[in-house]
Amino acid sequence: MMNVYESDKIRNVVILGHGGSGKTTLVEAMAYVTGAVKRQGRVTDGNTISDYDKEEQKRQFSISTSLVPVEYDDIKVNLLDTPGYYDFVGEVEEALNVADAAIIVVNGKSGVEVGTEKAWELCEKYNLPRMIFVTGMDDDNASFRQVNVTLNEKFGRKIAPFHVPIREDGKFVGFVNVVKMEGRRFTEGSDYVEGEIPDYLDKHLSMSRESLIEAVAETSEEFMERYFAGEEFTYDEISSALREHVIDGSVVPVLCGTGLNAQGMNALLLAIQKYFPSPKQCKINANDLSNGELLRLDYDCTKHVSAKVFKTIVDPFIGKYSLIKMVTGVLKPDTAIYNVNKEEEEKAARLYVLRGKEAIEVPELHAGDIGALTKMNTLTTGDTVALKGATVVYEAPKVSVPFTYKAYTAKNKGDEDKIAGALAKLMDEDLTLKAVNDAENHQTLLYGIGDQQLEVVVCKLMNRYKVEIELTKPKFAFRETLRKKVSVQGKHKKQSGGHGQYGDVVMEFEPSGDLEKAYVFEERVVGGAVPRNYFPAVEKGVQECVVKGPLAGYPVVGLKATLVDGSYHPVDSSEMAFKMATILAFKKGFMEAGPVLLEPINTLQVTVPNQYAGDIMGDLNKRRGRVLGMDHIPGGKQVITADVPASELYGYSTDLRSMTGGIGDFSYEFARYEQAPGDVQAKEVAERNKEN
């Protein structure tokens, strides 16, 4: 069993940082130091609490967010261990939706990386208090000083070093507490005793102390004046300024340690307890459905029960868990819970807190805590649960839109239904995954944030659900149209004992000027050459033909078809015969009317730091893109807007990441159709002919 914690004794902390910086190892170390696990697991051994999924163990990095609650002193810290690779950003966004503070993990050897900057941007966006933990200090090549210099350059004077590492004979043996100006020496594991401050640290320590005092001075005008007057601050002044301003994000402490040897964990947990807010000090956004008002609410145990579902786990072995963050009230087992979004009631039989994949039953959950409900059929990520009659809905996680896609097919015929069911479960878990049926091009598409995520989906389908799919390059939604006006005759004549078939039309085909519509049909028949009752059959022929054009089998747009003449037979003519005659006329006429392929054009927006703008523009030119504009935005970035053919954006997420070291971002939307260049048309027609 796990103890039950009141709102003010809870800390909800998301762990962010670049892929491979040591987040999962840090969480494992905190779990070990607090006694949540008896033995510290390692990512390389595949036995950590967080990375319990087979895919994570195989690849040795986190794919989904996992929850690891640890108990320290008299508080409970709900650690949300998130993936560092950008393909799995949806998982990070779900965790940010319920976190009250963040630890950004930086590897002391690799230093500040793209993922560090992304983590900082997310904290700014979600307004989260944060600390930076520099890990890997046991590595000879780790430089805490260099990390601090870079952090100061990138993020300004908020950066406040709380620690300076002490190294002896290439080993990490302790640290200086810069706030108290006292030395600390490790005894066993994360435990430490007070010790001397070595002389050789004087220069480094005075620089760090200066940074810390500067960050404190920045928090008020009175402090700023005293700082410039050369006055010293007392320990109590520094401590209370830090308590107040770490919470509002205007001071960002930097701590150090090593996850692998679990050193520095006690100091980190103490800082979490002391400086990070409890839910009691936080507010939450909500929407009142009864009057459409936006509300800012407190986490409050005295009100009726309400909570929000921020994540769903669907595991073939352990079942479905809906992870919730309690907002108001105290939830107990066997409570009838009302899903406000879906207006349905279900019973929450048991309550759990999850630690990795382990479900620990609890007697109650208080406002601000994170727990899990199981076997709740109607609950999906983003739902609000409360007591019947409630009208307040909490903000659902805002998840990134997926723009990378591939076509997928079942490897084994007959597996389609199984695949659809398995994908539905994966989409419940991962909101950035979308399966789309593209009926027009007879293909099924899988959308995600990046190629790596789609690869993981293929593996999960195989390992979890025993179905195999193949990913291929999708067909793009070209269109066909014509450029000239032509007049053609179509005659359908068959004689076979008894009634024959006779239909004869003269049609004019020309551009209609409206590419939004497939066709416009008119008739100018003089003197009843074709009786009126056959006009609908002629239009039906046109209607059938535009679905699949004669050039490359794509839908036809922008066509005007006019029936001008023809002839009929009083006995042998029929609607069917006139439809067939029209089809013959269409196939012949369309190919004589200067047929062209139109390609879909997307308006693309790429957001990159200024130094990459030139590379991006050069690359867009290669993709036949037309740059429409460049806008400078805060943070030394630019948004480049360009029109680019959809087919040229295939694989763009991978290319953009390699061009920008992973920091570039993009989105696009369909703009219009434009005539495809001759070489593109020739290639497409040849490919379609090969298929047929």
CATH class assigned to 404-472: alpha beta
Is pLDDT at 380 greater than 90 in this prediction? yes
Alpha-carbon dihedral sign for residues 447, 448, 452, 453? negative
Averaged over 249-262, what is the pLDDT?
94
3-state secondary structure 337-359: EEECCCCEEEEECCCEEEECCEE
Phi–psi pair at 583, nearest 5 degrees:
-60, -40
Torsion of CA 673, 678, 684, 690, to 10 degrees: 150
Q: What percent of the chain has pLDDT over 70?
A: 99
Contacts for 583 with CB less than 8 Å, ≥ 6 apart: 490, 541, 544, 545
Fold assignment, 283-394: Elongation Factor Tu (Ef-tu); domain 3 (2.40.30)
pLDDT at 375: 86
Q: What is the pLDDT of residues 17-70, one digit of tens each?
A: 999 999 999 999 999 999 999 999 999 998 999 888 888 888 999 999 999 999
pLDDT at 206: 93
In terms of CATH architecture, what is 600-691? 2-Layer Sandwich (3.30)
pLDDT at 691: 72
3-state secondary structure 201-221: HHHHHHHHHHHHHHHHHCCCH
Is pLDDT at 499 greater than 80 in this prediction? no
Other beta carbons within 10 angstroms of residue 246's beta carbon come to: 25
Tokens encoding 468: 């195999």
444-448, 495-499, 568-572, range with greatest mean pLDDT:
444-448
Mean pLDDT across the chain = 93
Q: What CATH number was assigned to the domain covering residues 479-593?
A: 3.30.230.10
Q: Domain extents for the chain?
A: 10-277, 283-394, 404-472, 479-593, 600-691
The helix/strand/coil state of 366 is strand
pLDDT at 339: 95
pLDDT at 182: 94
pLDDT at 169: 87
Q: What is the pLDDT of residues 543-559, one digit of tens each?
A: 999 999 999 989 999 99
DSSP string, 580-618: HHHHHHHHHHHHHS-EEEEEEEEEEEEEEEGGGHHHHHH
pLDDT at 60: 92
Averaged over 113-130, what is the pLDDT?
95
Fold match between 404-472 and 600-691? yes
Q: What percent of the chain has pLDDT over 90?
A: 86
Is pLDDT at 585 greater than 90 in this prediction? yes
DSSP string, 485-529: -EEEEEEEEE--SSS-EEEEEEEEEEE-S-TTSSEEEEE---TTS
Is pLDDT at 269 greater than 90 in this prediction? yes
pLDDT at 1: 67
The larger pLDDT score, comparing residue 688 to residue 552, is at 552
pLDDT at 497: 66
Which CATH code of 3.40.640.10, 3.30.70.20, 3.40.50.1370, 3.40.50.300 fits the domain covering 10-277?
A: 3.40.50.300
Question: Across the strands, what pairs with 331?
Answer: 365
Contacts for 631 with CB less than 8 Å, ≥ 6 apart: 638, 639, 641
Averaged over 210-222, what is the pLDDT?
91
Is pLDDT at 613 greater than 70 in this prediction? yes
d(CA 68, CA 323): 13
Residue 163 is classified by DSSP as E
Q: What is the pLDDT of residues 170-198, one digit of tens each?
A: 899 999 999 999 999 999 878 899 999 99
Q: What is the pLDDT of residues 502-525, one digit of tens each?
A: 999 999 999 999 999 999 999 999
pLDDT at 316: 76
| Reported pTM | 0.89
Tokens encoding 565: 């003449």
Say if residues 101 and 11 touch (Cβ distance below 8 Å).
Answer: yes
